[in-house]
């Protein structure tokens, strides 16, 4: 239809096409726009155009920059005609085809899509056909949902019953779209699950060339294993995708953020219970453990093993205060007997005391037994609070909404920890509006320690102190999701999650 006139639009070149649809660059009133034509077979044109106008009005009220608005929707020549702004961006489909996305960029796209979808879902709207061709990414990495809601109810049903129908990305259609059931926001959760699977594994969800085979698999087969496709993915992630791609909408995650949160920290699959062990040990019993710990260089990862002596002194002072009468025993076990009564000399220099902190945490753990986690948390909270007060008072710019305050706090705290180590070994990222991830490479209280369970209670306490410093104690929760003591890497990952309100 190049050159054709449809309503007020003169169609120019075709930018892309799908099932009985096509998008054209078009001119109208001296300006350019993108126009999508939808064949009347998909949905009666008057019904679709009316729904699009209602959606457009709501989208206009929302005004979200990640959603390309519908400027106009009309019925013309047996088609629905929807006009949208023309964006200088490429489709996610193109980027995926040429391998133009690393994992960080892929996660950024997913979180931006999730933010847009969550907003429209809360306003009672449904996108209906999320797929890479309908996601545009500009040169700055900003992602946009295009052609919002233009797909009709009967797209999947029509495709499944029309042998010669050409179709792109049929795997993104949810089972209820194929069955002709009433649709709600959970069709978008299904499609987001497919997109996450394909970005994570670098493979299509269904490996059939024939669209009809893909649609049959959607209705009849369980989703494939992401872990089997890419062994770097944890086995637990398969359960997340099984939920997201469940045939029944009620079995899926109930929000886009729940899906992304599970992908970030896959829930553990229930297994047989393991009886707890009483860890109330005597100093004599733990002495062999600490003797072995003193010779950890054989498996210690390469890198800087020094810490700023002022931070080390802060940890010693806080440890003495929290340990109370047990401090002489703890200091002796950690090989730090010289600090039973005296503080380390602090001259603002980096000293090779990294393993001393790890042994000190081990000694706290061994001496306190079942009460060790509380004692370690108290130690971390006191040391973290003392350290923050020593580097600067709470800055006046830590203000505003909770997420902004957390960003400010992490910027200050993580930067200070990197100064402690003399290297950028602590990093943080914002996963979504409710979840932040912090990674400690060569964790100061974990390096050199082999354990069978999570052990970084010190840092949980330190981050709780930092949250209190920023006035966020009741708004965010801290947990450790990967312990370098268990893996032997020494690298630990923490999450800071928005508390339920």
Residue 266 per-residue DSSP state: P
Tens of pLDDT, residue by residue, the chain (501 residues): 877 888 888 888 888 776 677 888 888 887 888 888 887 766 555 677 777 787 777 777 666 778 887 888 888 777 888 888 888 888 899 899 887 677 778 888 888 888 888 888 888 888 887 999 889 898 878 888 886 555 544 444 444 444 444 456 889 989 988 877 888 899 999 999 999 999 988 899 998 878 888 888 988 999 999 999 988 888 889 999 999 999 999 999 988 888 888 887 777 654 333 333 232 333 333 333 333 333 333 334 556 678 999 999 999 999 999 999 899 999 988 888 899 988 888 888 998 888 888 888 888 888 887 788 889 999 999 999 899 888 766 555 555 677 888 888 898 899 999 999 988 899 998 888 788 999 998 888 877 666 666 668 899 999 999 998 888 888 899 988 788 877 777 788 899 998 875
Residue 282 DSSP SS3 = coil
Cβ–Cβ under 8 Å, residues 62 and 119 = yes
Structure tokens at 270: 């229930």
CA 115, CA 192: separation in Å to the nearest integer?
A: 12
Distance CA 200, CA 228 (A): 12
Tokens at residue 71, please? 């400027």
What are the phi and psi torsion angles at 74 (to 5°)?
Answer: -135, 165
Q: Which of 353, 354, 374 is nearest to 365 (CA)?
A: 374
**Within 74-221, where are the H helices?**
92-97, 103-122, 155-161, 175-179, 186-201, 211-220
Q: Which residues contact 201 (CB under 8 A, 6 or more apart)?
A: 226, 229, 230, 233
- What is the token pair recorded at 339? 């600090």
Which residue from 431, 450, 452 is spatially nearest to 494, judged by alpha carbons? 431
The pLDDT value recorded for residue 426 is 92
User: Which residue, chain included where needed, has tokens 């061994």?
Assistant: 366
Residue 467 CB partners (closer than 8 Å, separation 6+):
406, 409, 473, 475, 476, 478, 496
| H or E, element range at 263 | helix 256-264
What is the reported pLDDT for 275? 32
Determine if the pTM surpasses 0.75.
no
Please state, in angstroms and rounded to a whole number, the distance separating the CA atoms of residues 336 and 383. Answer: 17
Burial of 57 (0-12, 13-18, 19+ CB in 10 A): exposed
Q: Using an 8 Å Cβ cutoff, are 69 and 84 in contact?
A: yes
Q: How far apart are CA 213 and CA 52, in angstroms?
A: 31
């Amino acid at each position: 239809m190049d050159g054709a006139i449809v309503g007020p639009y003169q169609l120019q070149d075709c930018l892309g096409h799908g099932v009985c649809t096509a998008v054209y660059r078009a001119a109208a009133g001296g300006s350019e726009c993108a126009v999508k034509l939808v064949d009347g077979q998909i949905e009666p044109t008057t019904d679709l155009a009316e729904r699009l106008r209602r959606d457009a009005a709501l989208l206009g009220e929302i005004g979200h920059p990640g959603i390309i608005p519908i400027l106009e929707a009309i019925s013309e020549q047996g088609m629905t005609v929807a006009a949208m702004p023309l964006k200088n961006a490429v489709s996610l489909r193109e980027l995926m085809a040429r391998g133009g996305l690393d994992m960080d960029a892929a996660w950024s796209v997913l979180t931006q899509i999730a933010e847009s979808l969550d907003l429209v879902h809360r306003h009672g709207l449904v996108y209906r056909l999320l797929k890479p061709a309908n996601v545009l990414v500009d040169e700055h990495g900003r992602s946009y949902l295009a052609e919002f809601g233009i797909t009709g109810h009967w797209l999947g049903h029509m495709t499944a019953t029309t042998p010669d129908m050409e179709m792109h990305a049929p795997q993104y259609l949810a089972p209820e779209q194929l069955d002709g059931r009433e649709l709600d926001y959970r069709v978008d959760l299904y499609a987001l699950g497919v997109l996450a699977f394909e970005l994570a594994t670098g493979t299509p969800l269904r490996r059939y060339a024939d669209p009809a085979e893909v649609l049959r698999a959607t209705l009849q087969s369980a989703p494939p294993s992401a872990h089997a496709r890419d062994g770097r993915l944890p086995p637990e992630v398969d359960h997340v995708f099984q939920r997201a791609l469940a045939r029944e909408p009620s079995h899926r995650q109930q929000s886009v953020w729940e899906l992304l949160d599970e992908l970030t920290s896959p829930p553990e699959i229930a297994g047989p219970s393991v009886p707890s062990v009483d860890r109330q040990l005597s100093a004599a019993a733990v002495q062999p453990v600490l003797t072995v710990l003193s010779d950890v260089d054989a498996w210690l990862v390469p890198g800087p093993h020094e810490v700023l002596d002022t931070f080390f002194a802060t940890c010693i002072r806080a440890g003495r205060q929290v340990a109370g009468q047990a401090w002489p025993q703890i200091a002796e076990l950690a090989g730090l007997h010289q600090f039973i009564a005296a503080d380390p000399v602090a001259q603002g220099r980096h000293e090779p005391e990294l393993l001393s902190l790890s042994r000190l945490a081990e000694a706290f753990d061994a001496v306190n037994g079942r009460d060790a986690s509380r004692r370690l948390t108290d130690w971390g909270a006191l040391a973290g609070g003392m350290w923050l007060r020593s580097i600067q008072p709470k800055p006046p710019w830590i203000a505003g909404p909770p997420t902004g305050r957390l960003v400010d706090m992490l910027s200050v705290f993580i930067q200070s920890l990197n100064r402690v180590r003399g290297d950028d070994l602590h990093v943080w990222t914002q996963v979504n509006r409710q979840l932040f991830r912090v990674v400690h490479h060569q964790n100061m209280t974990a390096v050199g320690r082999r354990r069978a369970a999570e052990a970084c209670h010190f840092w949980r306490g330190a981050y709780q102190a930092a949250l209190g410093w920023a006035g966020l104690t009741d708004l965010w929760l801290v947990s450790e999701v990967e312990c370098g003591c268990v893996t032997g890497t020494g690298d630990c990952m923490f999450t800071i999650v928005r508390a339920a309100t």
